[in-house]
Structure 1
């Protein structure tokens, strides 16, 4: 045994004697897990399902079965923390095994994994060995306690924390002493404050009001808020709540009902309850929604001010899941759509960032960067024309309810036909409507203009128009908005089989196409064909013929746009008319005056942004370093006064079309990739961090501009990169979350490093 190992072993036994009080899980252990482990071990994609964000997750342990399996033919039993089981024994029955219990004379599995990692430290800021498999495609080994010896012999460099700078000596000693003492876990469940409890009572009273009308509204609200991390006006920092269905009424302990989907039958008697979110907040699942007295009044105004009635609340089942327009037909469509518009950023985030930790299942059928706009309710025929709504509603059913693989072709054909019948009906109805003008675009609040970045390893939805003018824009009306939400959030089953997942992705392709078609209707009729052909090049033309309805090239637009540059002309008009709603102006990526920086920042930062703007609006064919950059790099600029500014460098991939769910490489156009550079953290999944003193930004940008190959890029990462092995890796990594906390405190959470690359 080496001297270092001997000292560490002795300390494990001596440390408890030196401490004034026993090690506390909540005070001493969870903070270490939060700092060094949760970045990988959280959500469904935690390796081996080992979730270290809470005492319940730690005690639950690990499971060899992955949640994400795109090829499974049978659906999988859900394993959701705090929902699908509520004791260690119950999790053992679901094939989870302990990582805390000692095995005879052998220490706990976690202790041995930590010891293996502690014995093989990484060389400071060196590139990791190529044989270390990284990324979300890595096949996790999930060694059982009795398999550890074989694992360690075959994989001596794969202890924990895996492939990253490890624990500090004191952290290591604390964890080992805790494990040696039997790993006791003191549960400290989050409790609402007095102010929060009062507001909870008000909301639960509304949601559990009697009567068919109130019950139907509550069901619709639940299905639209179940995924949210809710917070209250005047609430405590870090306190968030989830809307659940419970067997117990208000005033009693919550007993959550575990159904596969939020719109499955919860049984005869249940109550809507607001339950505190337990465990560490992680950014990738942290989609926030605020509750307040004003929001409560808005709900009453939208849903209960009219005289509409309902005789009985609809039942549950596949048909009710498939068509929420039928299920909730009694609720005025105006109220439903306006509620979603009021909070459009939240709803788009739910289906772009959530509800799962691997949103890349959607990336084959949407662009990496685009802007989203919304049709004004008063111009939406589904809202204003009862006859159109009645005829359209049966055609708006969405697939995914029948998950038998052998039926996939028939089921998909039926739903595709329904969708195209609806599009034909829509085109006919809108051909008789007034030509669209600027009033067709909803401008009710700063949720009206949204930017979406949905890369394979990254996702963000932000208010405002960020980035260069994108290749495509979406115009979402109520039928599209609601279908996107139900298809990708409410009805999506992360534990479902390949048939369910394929139906979800294929229908999302149709939703994207519908949103593009809506936008094209704003363009001059004679310009639409050329625009669509640009979006559907090569094999995309085949998809136009196979799956999509004909393009309307006849009905006019009332927007006075330049026919040769209609999209650019539209964006100019949009900003001129509704610039006050553009929450995040972007002179770095759309520099018109030569001053390519924000006006309200220091001269030093203005100089930084002016220089960074040289990296934007350039395709990879002329800025070769784009080929070397991952999708989401975070740039940390250290200022002379000791402060820092964080920028996201997002690589947007170009494709001839995104009309198929497979064969992306056949449509990829790497020479047309470009970069979006914007202040802030626009990703839950940083792929790499660069740390650059402000004085060195000119040299950093020049090096990027001059980099032509991997060798030149290697010099950049050596000088400014923060590799997984950097001695201060965790400081820089968590500083991104600290930056979010300083700039958008409600949005902060631990970021994910499963996708952090070995550059």
Structure 2
């Protein structure tokens, strides 16, 4: 009996050896190294989370695990996310038929136990003696099966935001590891060093203690919080209405007090059931304009954890801002009989809800910090912006209508007439009613445009003029913005960057406010397909409206020509059906001499608003031969400017290497003393139109792609990094311009590319963050690498 049992055990052991032998061979064939025989020993000393573990998580984990698109909802920006753990449900699901319950840290549940009831499972705690913690299993898998340093990842490794997240639990890990040995953590990159692994393993085996993040407020912060909470919580009716409007426009902000000494600490504005001076108990509504259901107070709560770049939406609260709010909202008397409620109609139409507040005050407040509001569209609830970006072009300039030329601001009778037409869809997410909802709001929007055109024709008989464009009071640089689309993300910078784009937006108050409410205040990232569809469709109308407004500056008889270039092929069919037809007979106050009115207007904008344009000449993208550099920079940077400017503002039919580049490429350039600077190469993809949800590939015009060379950081999601000594920058530029296929591009990657497996991948990625922190401390944060390519 013993002999037969021994033979059975021996045969089983030999079978397992056979399985592992085949498993390792398959790994070798796929480009993964064979399983390591020896792992670094877990640290035996008492490992400190704050001093030893948190820096590892920030440097090797947070680049993927943050914001709403963190894989398996494992968010590592702060200790609360780490303790909460993971969930199999993804936040981003474009086809779900029912909205999911929100899972916002610090709002929808406050303890790990509460999150367990919602289905989250621990990544820190071991299942039992035989089942180590999920985190330990994941980092062990990566350590056992590393990628060859500097190599291209095997084809079996799926990258990008569309790749499947398996979200295995501790009990499921064994099967997961057998099926997916390449998916250890950190995922598809240079892994942990032996010391990092040892510390993490030791900490996990010691129980993974995470101390509570306690913030001690300074006296200055306490005073500032008291001042601002008092302002937000005024008891008079006017104060209450203004407080609500401010809250709905600042709830996403990383608020800070710039007048306090030291590195700024950030705060968030939320509604709480507890008054100022007491511990904050947040009210968890899906949207900031949902009915709170109880007495509430506006409170400022410190933001804990590490800042990531894609959530950097900073907003200052100082004495000047306090005075500005008093000046705009309270310096003149305006009557209010009663406060609005939180009904469906009031949530869908902020113009009705806040009609008592002078429109000038609301619009000017938004203009004062226009970049902030545009950034909320881009870095807001969607995080990766996929809902919005499908309806915008890859590069365009945005200007704003002057308040005293905006008839919604200056004509109260007209304002009252059109307010009922300015509601937005999406609050009602019933799938069966989606079509009817869309037609109702589409009709109202087009009726509004008809009334708008009629009113402007009567009140501005000479037509629109550049004098009607907001000039920022001659000093506010928020007046001119450039927006870049990077397929499924976007970015905004101050100034008019790049070559003259194909399209320009001219936004008035109704356009700016509707964009904010459609994409930010009323957008529910946890919503169903009907909500997301209606949001996408209505934003298409907003883009069309901003273009429509700009065309008023084009002389009569020439607008159709410009419009035909923007809406080529099937895009033109939407006019008269979805879009309001353009009026090509109304005059323009601008007298243009050339046959290219859009370009001439753009040139005038550049000339007229130089004083507030942070990039008045843009020598890298709009240079005149010998001046293709920033003369104020050191000679070695001028050399880099000249070399990279040769790639800019010319179509891919001439600079063929553009077709090899992804959307966002960082280029770190260093001189012989190791001083560095950073450029962003932005690939602007051309399309015949952006009027449809589907079929983008059919509308793509690759020969018309061009490159914007931006001196600095644009974008939160780098697709690739090149590290180039300035002594080789001309060679890099020349080779890139001529790389007409994958083979010559691979040579460039081999020479200067930083692949995910590069030994210095993490060091260079974070060095670029450090560089930006030195240049723009309020903008810097850890970049997201979920879109980093496998070249």
Q: 2:672 matched to which residue of 1?
A: 640
Q: 1:383 matched to which residue of 2?
A: 409
| Structure ID, larger Rg | 2
Aligned residues: 752
Q: In 1, Cα distance between the equivalents of 2:38 and 2:436?
A: 67
Q: In 1, Cα distance between the equivalents of 2:344 and 2:151?
A: 54
Equivalences for residues 611-630 of structure 1 within 5 A: 611-630=643-662
**Cα offset for 1:6?**
6.9
Q: 2:297 matched to which residue of 1?
A: 271
CA contact (8 A) 1:285 1:355 kept: no
CA contact (8 A) 2:39 2:143 kept: no
Q: For 2:469, which of 441, 452, 459 is the aligned residue?
A: 441
Q: For 1:483, which of 486, 491, 514 is the aligned residue?
A: 514
Q: 2:67 matched to which residue of 1?
A: 43
RMSD: 1.5
Unaligned runs of 5+ in 2: 1-19, 25-33
Find the residue that maps to 2:626 and give its secondary structure: coil
Q: In 1, Cα distance between the equivalents of 2:312 and 2:67?
A: 11
Q: In 2, Cα distance between the equivalents of 1:527 and 1:88?
A: 62
Q: For 2:112, which of 88, 96, 99 is the aligned residue?
A: 88
CA distances 1:44-95 after superposition (whole Å, capped 9, x unpaired): 1111111122111111011001110000010000001111111111001110
**Cα offset for 1:241?**
0.6
Q: 1:579 matched to which residue of 2?
A: 610
Q: 1:312 matched to which residue of 2?
A: 338
Q: In 1, Cα distance between the equivalents of 2:446 and 2:549?
A: 14
CA contact (8 A) 1:464 1:582 kept: yes
**Cα offset for 1:433?**
2.0
CA contact (8 A) 1:26 1:187 kept: no
Q: 1:649 matched to which residue of 2?
A: 681
Q: 1:513 matched to which residue of 2?
A: 544
Q: In 1, Cα distance between the equivalents of 2:526 and 2:488?
A: 20
Q: In 1, Cα distance between the equivalents of 2:68 and 2:603?
A: 42
TM-score, normalised relative to structure 2: 0.93
Q: In 1, Cα distance between the equivalents of 2:743 and 2:111?
A: 53
Q: For 1:741, which of 773, 777, 790 is the aligned residue?
A: 773
Q: 1:403 matched to which residue of 2?
A: 429
Q: 2:5 matched to which residue of 1?
A: none
Q: 1:294 matched to which residue of 2?
A: 320
Q: 1:369 matched to which residue of 2?
A: 395
Q: In 2, Cα distance between the equivalents of 1:636 and 1:457?
A: 24
CA distances 1:317-345 after superposition (whole Å, capped 9, x unpaired): 22111000000000000000000000000
Q: In 2, Cα distance between the equivalents of 1:671 and 1:655?
A: 10
Q: In 1, Cα distance between the equivalents of 2:47 and 2:36?
A: 22
Matched, 1:77 2:114: no
Q: For 2:563, which of 532, 539, 555 is the aligned residue?
A: 532
CA contact (8 A) 2:36 2:143 kept: no
CA contact (8 A) 2:396 2:504 kept: yes
**Cα offset for 1:561?**
2.1
Q: In 1, Cα distance between the equivalents of 2:55 and 2:122?
A: 21
Q: 1:348 matched to which residue of 2?
A: 374
Q: Go from structure 1 to structure 2 and tell me whether the alpha carbon gap of 1:6 and 1:661 turns closer, same or farther (over 3 Å shift).
A: closer
CA contact (8 A) 2:397 2:504 kept: yes
Q: 2:158 matched to which residue of 1?
A: 133
Choose 276-285 or 565-574, whichever is displaced more: 565-574
**Cα offset for 1:360?**
2.1
CA distances 1:242-274 after superposition (whole Å, capped 9, x unpaired): 101111111111111110001101123111011
**Cα offset for 1:356?**
2.2
Q: 2:53 matched to which residue of 1?
A: 29
Choose 490-499 or 732-741, whichever is displaced more: 732-741
Q: For 1:357, which of 375, 378, 383 is the aligned residue?
A: 383
Choose 166-175 or 332-341, whichever is displaced more: 166-175
Q: In 1, Cα distance between the equivalents of 2:215 and 2:264?
A: 10
Q: For 1:546, which of 577, 580, 600 is the aligned residue?
A: 577
CA contact (8 A) 1:396 1:419 kept: yes
CA contact (8 A) 1:365 1:508 kept: yes
**Cα offset for 1:4?**
10
Q: Go from structure 1 to structure 2 and tell me whether the alpha carbon gap of 1:757 and 1:226 turns closer, same or farther (over 3 Å shift).
A: same
CA contact (8 A) 1:286 1:749 kept: yes
CA contact (8 A) 1:469 1:568 kept: yes
Q: In 2, Cα distance between the equivalents of 1:212 and 1:51?
A: 40
Unaligned runs of 5+ in 1: none
Choose 646-655 or 542-551, whichever is displaced more: 542-551
Q: 1:180 matched to which residue of 2?
A: 205
**Cα offset for 1:747?**
1.1
Q: 2:11 matched to which residue of 1?
A: none
Q: 2:787 matched to which residue of 1?
A: 755
CA contact (8 A) 2:390 2:488 kept: no
Structure 1 segments (4+ residues) deviating >6 Å: 1-6
Equivalences for residues 409-424 of structure 1 within 5 A: 409-424=435-450
